[in-house]
Amino acid sequence: MVLKLILLIASLVAFSFFTGLNLDNKCDIWFFWTTFKNVPVFLTAIISFAAGALFTLPLALKAGRKNDDSDKEVSRKTEKGLKKIKSSENNITYDRDK
């Protein structure tokens, strides 16, 4: 718990330095129908990171759901296989009289 707190504080300090050092760096951003002028670079970086996270989230959720479905299918196939084995064991007869 203490380690997480230290990492959080360190990341906030790093973010503060990044923001403070890039306040004077500005750029123009063209976004299809309009151009935003004099946008700080740190704001561009934050928005880009957030957009990447938003676009990745559905893919990550879809991949997780696909793995869960395949696990269920494997367990269903395993159950069917076990039932077949048990039913075949019940049908085996041994001739002890020979």
pLDDT of residue 2: 84
Total-model pTM: 0.48
* H/E element, 17: helix 2-21
The string of pLDDT tens digits covering residues 26-59 is 888 898 889 999 888 888 888 888 898 899 888 8
What percent of the chain clears pLDDT 90, i.e. is strictly above it? 6
Distances, alpha carbon 31 to alpha carbons 35, 62, 64, in Å: 6, 29, 33
